[in-house]
Structure 1
Amino acid sequence: MMAETLPSAIEQELLGIKNLLWGNEIKPEIFKRWSQGFYFSSNEKSALEQAEGGPCAILAPVEAFIIKNLLLEFKDFSFRDKVNEDIQNRSLVNALCEILGQCNAKKYYIVYLDSDLSDPVSKTDLNGDNTSAATPLVIDPCRFHNEIKVHHFQCLDGVNKYYTENIAKIKAPYGVLLFLYSVIASKGLEQITLESDTQDPFIDETYGYGSQNLINLMITGRATTYVWDHDQDVGGLKLKGVEKQSQIGFITIMEYHRYCTVGSFFKNPIHPVWVIASDTHLTVLFSEERRLVSPETKCEQAKRVFKSFDPYGNNFISADKLQDVLNALDLVSEPEYVNIMKKKLDNENLGIILMNAFLDEFFPREDSSTPDMFTLVHYNGLPQSNVNGQVHFHIGSAILLESDIKSVCESNPMLTILQTKWPNIEVTWCDNITPSVN
């Protein structure tokens, strides 16, 4: 079942979505940067291309789901040479539907334009090259919002069929925005407001970047503000984080700057694919090495639980929290035993327990599930951020060093971000060119 007209309730919902995303005013230059379609690079057939800065908050997660599904289908990076237009279209539609499906919607509202506003303009029309990339038109945001319409579907199969039959609309100008509006409409403005701990617009009014709420919504289906595991009590406020292990992961340079703490659910996703955030941009990192996301060992679980009682990342907890940690790990937690362990682990009576001392006592000599050497592949959708101005995957050989001392190099933001996930990592990139995360 689908509806062509806009019931008044949906009209109000779309007005609310407009305000949620843009705030009180939409800057034309920011709206223009977001007004692109989903299209693939002519150089790297499975890589979405980004025209200008801004919509990476949508494009990077969609690309991450595309890569995740291609790795599952082809078992390894061989998909790079096998992707054709049919696989492109199927992969794009499946990724969009998977992101919508994570919203747990009761009904799916697909926002679309049924006018020349969404007619694709190929790059062939503009500069003679042979790509099908849609080029944004200059348009008044008011006209765009006045002309959007809504289909509704009872199930994802209907959405998949619609997108498959209307693939040109997804690739045409405004395809990214129309999908974003569809996600929020399907999720429901009320539910998104309940999940979000901010009053700020989801698209930055000054620079046009997508907020963490928007990134989390695209990756997990929940528009939470924070990236730690579960909800946390901070000063009496219950702040919502990531609910469960995600399909794809997320790591960020903001953790290095100590602006946030990324939890295990994001750092250790179900599949070896991560959206990675620099100060200004989102890109994607992935590997065909499944052992990077193998089930947690007991020691890794203990680290995660211990850190959940150490929100500031100090690698120690108050001695008074020991019983809670032991209880969370299903270890002996009777008061008499806890008091004995407190004295042993805090023999100087400082009132704190170090994580390493805790792990050595309860989980000694456990081998890591992570291999010492593996291949990483990086994607950046901005042509100007790639070698020769063409989007392509960049391959690196990673090694995890035995030393506990990591090399800090602030001039290498890629390494800095990777070290938030693998503290002792070193990567040798193809042609000795470190890919840009900006």
Structure 2
Amino acid sequence: GFVFSDSESTALEQFEGGPCAVIAPVQVRCLYYRNGLKSVSDLSEEEQKNLLCHTLCDILEMACSDNSESYCLATWIRGKTTEETASISESPAESSRQEEQPSALAVEELGFERFHALIHKRAFKSFPELKDAVWDQYSAWTNRFGVLLFLYSVILTKGIENIKNEIEDATEPLIDPVYGHGSQSLINLLLTGHAVSNVWDGDRECSGMKLLGIHKQATVGFLTLMESLRYCKV
């Protein structure tokens, strides 16, 4: 899940490989919004909650289609009192502090089908309704599988067909099935709301093919070491 560091109150921690493609865009937007806070050296838990939820809402709002005002969240099904959901709700940060407490189940242990049987899609017709739900679900974002639930929420809000239409190669996965690396399309989706495969300004044509790019300046973005070598221009 999205867990703030004890030593740096605005930094999100990553405990294992895989979710960096989602955590990094959320982190950079958190850093952008923290400039408006009076104090950034030592945020209270309530300030951390507001910072994270505001960031998640902003990304979901960007992902929403221009001609649609429907937002979606992937959440745990209410009323589930099974051992699986009890273990899932365990925070990884708390588990690391209390070794005697059993850690949350991994996806492999929970099972692919069982995991998806425990979640469902919630739809919202207005942004204020979405904001209330994101704040109410704060514990879900900060606990085990919180990053995955948010990724599902972005994909559902954007729409699978819309993502396929924007990705240059419809067969390209958003996450590499072997190494778990996030694709450029996934990074662009979380940064700009558009799952295009390229980072240049506007669309380009190459040998009769239309290659989609970024149409307007994003609020936040990334720099790359390749720029200093002139392999990439930002």
TM-score (normalised: structure 2): 0.85
Q: Report the Cα offset of residue 103 of structure 1.
A: 1.6
Q: Report the Cα offset of residue 38 of structure 1.
A: 0.9
Q: Report the Cα offset of residue 223 of structure 1.
A: 0.3
Please name the residue that 2:125 is paired with.
154
Q: Report the Cα offset of residue 257 of structure 1.
A: 7.2
1:137 aligns with 2:105: yes
| 1:60 corresponds to which of 24, 37, 40 | 24
Aligned-partner Cα distance in 2 for 1:233–1:255? 23
Aligned-partner Cα distance in 2 for 1:220–1:73? 24
| 1:248 corresponds to which of 220, 227, 232 | 220
Q: Report the Cα offset of residue 256 of structure 1.
A: 6.1
Matched letter for residue 57 of structure 1: A
Within a 5 Å distance, the mapping from 1:421-432 to structure 2 comes to none
Native 8 Å contact 1:97 1:160 kept in 2:
yes
In structure 2, the CA distance between the partners of 1:250 and 1:136, relative to structure 1 (3 Å rule), is farther
| 1:71 corresponds to which of 35, 45, 48 | 35
| 2:64 corresponds to which of 93, 99, 104 | 104
Q: Report the Cα offset of residue 148 of structure 1.
A: 1.5
Q: Report the Cα offset of residue 166 of structure 1.
A: 2.2
| 2:45 corresponds to which of 85, 100, 114 | 85
Aligned-partner Cα distance in 1 for 2:36–2:207? 43
Aligned-partner SS, 2:18? coil
Please name the residue that 1:237 is paired with.
209
Structure 1: which 5+ runs fail to align?
1-36, 130-134, 268-438
Native 8 Å contact 1:120 1:171 kept in 2:
no
Within a 5 Å distance, the mapping from 1:1-400 to structure 2 comes to 37-74=1-38, 79-105=39-65, 106-114=69-77, 115=80, 116=85, 118-128=88-98, 136-138=104-106, 139-198=110-169, 199-253=171-225, 261-262=232-233, 267=234
1:203-234 Cα distance to aligned partner (Å, 9 max, x none): 11111011000000000000000011111112
Native 8 Å contact 1:109 1:185 kept in 2:
yes
Q: Report the Cα offset of residue 136 of structure 1.
A: 4.8
Aligned-partner SS, 1:150? strand
Q: Report the Cα offset of residue 54 of structure 1.
A: 1.8
Native 8 Å contact 2:18 2:180 kept in 1:
yes
Native 8 Å contact 1:228 1:241 kept in 2:
yes
Matched letter for residue 232 of structure 1: R
1:116-145 Cα distance to aligned partner (Å, 9 max, x none): 16312454445438xxxxx65222122112
Aligned-partner Cα distance in 2 for 1:118–1:153? 25
Q: How many residues align?
A: 217
Aligned-partner Cα distance in 2 for 1:66–1:239? 31
Aligned-partner SS, 2:210? strand
Aligned-partner Cα distance in 1 for 2:222–2:142? 26
Aligned-partner Cα distance in 2 for 1:206–1:168? 30
In structure 2, the CA distance between the partners of 1:125 and 1:206, relative to structure 1 (3 Å rule), is closer
Aligned-partner SS, 2:187? helix
TM-score (normalised: structure 1): 0.47
In structure 2, the CA distance between the partners of 1:82 and 1:232, relative to structure 1 (3 Å rule), is same
Aligned-partner Cα distance in 1 for 2:139–2:146? 9
Point out the structure with max Rg over C-alpha.
Answer: 1
Aligned-partner SS, 2:90? coil
In structure 2, the CA distance between the partners of 1:245 and 1:86, relative to structure 1 (3 Å rule), is same
In structure 2, the CA distance between the partners of 1:123 and 1:186, relative to structure 1 (3 Å rule), is closer
Structure 2: which 5+ runs fail to align?
none
Matched letter for residue 105 of structure 2: L
